[in-house]
Structures are given as C-alpha cells and as structure tokens.
Amino acid sequence: MTFTNENIQNEISKILTSCAVDQQIAYRRIINHIDLTTLEGNDNDEKVRKLCHSAYEVENAEKQIPSVAAVCVYPVFVKTARESLAGKNINVAAVAGAFPSGQSPLEVRLAEVRYAVEQGADEIDMVISRGRFLAGERDFLREEVSKHKEACGNAHLKVILETGELLEPNLIYEASMISMEAGADFIKTSTGKIQPAATLEAAYVMLTAIKAYYDKTGKKIGFKPAGGISDPETAVQFWKLVKHINGDEWLNNQLFRYGASRLLNKLVDAVV
C-alpha cells in the first residue's frame, strides 16, 4: 500500500464530512478512553495521587460522565498510582524503555519494563528507536517490540511510533505493521514530547494499517493518538476516523485510547 499526503488529506476530508456522530454522546464516551497522564521532571508522589483522584472524581452518574480509562506515569510512581486507584476500575500505565528517546541499550530498557510490571503496571507504553528504524534497521524494530512484549508478561504493550519524527506516511505504515506483527497490543502516535504529535494524517495511516492487519490475521490491535489533542472538537475528529475506518467494534477503551490530559476538563465542561 502506498500513500501520498494529498490522498490522505482528501480521504480524511471525506470521512469527517460524511461520518455523523452525536457530539454529546461522543464527549461522554471519549472521557472513558482517556489515559490521564503526568510525565514531567517535577512529578512526585503527591502529584500522582492528585492525578489519580482526578481520574475517578470526574465520574458523575447524574450527567452520565464515566471515569477515565487509565492513569499513565513514570515507572517509579506505578506503586503510588496502584495504591491510589485501589478498588477503582482504572488501569495503571507506565512509560518504560528509555521514554521518550528510545536511546538506551535494549537490556536496560527491558529491565525498566520488568520493574514497572513488578510494581503493578497493567500497561506499558514503550517508544521505538526511531533513529535505528530510519537508518533501515527493520529487524531491530521487530526485535525490540518482541522483547518488550515478552518483558510485559500479562501487561498490555502500547508501542509509540513518534510519528512526528517518522513524518513520511509510508514509513508510518511500515512501522505500524512491523510493530503489530512483533506483538504490539496497541500502536500509539506520539510521546507528546515531539511536535507534531498526534495528527489526523498519522492516525489515518495507522488506522488503515490496523484494518489491514485485522483483515489478514483476525487480530484486533488498539490505537492511541497522543499529544496535542486539547479540545473536544478535535477529539471527535479522531473518533470519526476510528469509527469509519475500523468500525464501531473499535469504539471501546480496550481498543481505543486518547493520550490527552488537557482534554479532560474541556470535555466535562462541554457535557450538557
């Protein structure tokens, strides 16, 4: 499959125009797809506890507002998040494996993944080594994803492509397919640390890859746009792409997440 930027933009325009959704229903449902995240150098236990509190306090039965899907933190805060979310139906995710650069030795990265899982992480968000992929080392991408998946044990693996550095749509498609073949449970656009982060163009390519992989194998792989999705209207555009390309079967938080912490309060405010 070959992509051009013009064709991608034309297809996205058609989808956004033709795909109708109820905005209010979508806002509520998107809340339940958010990975509420803090990944800053000034993170500490108290900040993580407050984030976890926000993750479930947003729930409002009267307004039919659900809790978020997960809280995502650095590995050293997994235990704090796990304790803070005890009894809540909210997963703990950890970025692990030399986030956000992917530029540490593979064994060091895998040790960090195993540590996060031992601390109680339900999900691991790893980042691929874009430099080696762009240098043509396709086998290394396959190896690193496969070994991260093995290190995850029972935890789900979300593979971050950092599409803002891959840029070329055909490379994004290739990295998506290799990652899925090597064991990714999810493929994710971005770390949120590089611009451009989540774009509709990258999402279109990745979702097309997910559909092709499903058609070939029957295996459903999840999708997570992350970074820069800061308003409800933009969030709904990603929702429409998933609905149109992959179908309603993907519109649940087992197969579709948003990495968009700034979005949460705006979605809650938009619910009437």
Q: Which residues contact 112 (CB under 8 A, 6 or more apart)?
A: 75, 96, 97, 98
Task: Identify any residues that bridge with 126 across adjacent strands, giving them in sequence order.
Answer: 159
Catalytic residue at 125? yes
Q: Is 219 a catalytic residue?
A: no
User: Residues 79, 149, 158, 224: which is the catalytic one?
Assistant: 224
Is residue 224 flagged as an active site residue? yes
125, 185, 240, 243: which one is catalytic? 125
Active-site pick, 147, 149, 158, 188: 188
Catalytic residue numbers read: 125, 188, 224
